[in-house]
Amino acid sequence: MRNPARAEQVRATRQKVLVAARDLFLRRGYFGATIEAIAKRAAVSPQTVYNLVGGKAALLKAVYDVALAGDDAPVPMIDRPIARAMLAATDPHECLRLYARMGREIFERAGPLIAVVFVQGAGRDPDVRAFVDKIEGERAIGTAGIARHVARRFGLRDGLTEAEAGDVLWALTAPELLDRFTRRRGWSLDRYERWLAETMAESLLRRP
Global confidence as pTM = 0.76
Q: What are the CA-CA distances from residue 134 to residues 37, 114, 141 (Å)? A: 26, 14, 11
Closest CA to 52 of 70, 33, 72: 72
pLDDT of residue 180: 86
Q: CA–CA separation, 174 vs 5, rounded Å?
A: 41
Q: State the Rg of the chain over Cα.
A: 19
Asked if residues 33 and 21 have their Cβ atoms less than 8 Å apart, the reply is yes
Beta strands in 82-173 (DSSP E): none
Out of 57-61, 84-88, 201-205, pick the least confident: 57-61
Above 60 in pLDDT, residue 1?
Answer: no
Question: pLDDT tens across 182-193, in order?
Answer: 888 999 999 999
Q: What domains are there in the chain, each with its CATH number?
A: 1-70 (1.10.10.60), 75-208 (no CATH)
Q: CA–CA separation, 160 vs 8, rounded Å?
A: 49
Q: End-to-end CA distance of the chain, in Å?
A: 62
Question: pLDDT tens across 48-77, in order?
Answer: 999 999 988 889 888 888 877 665 555 566
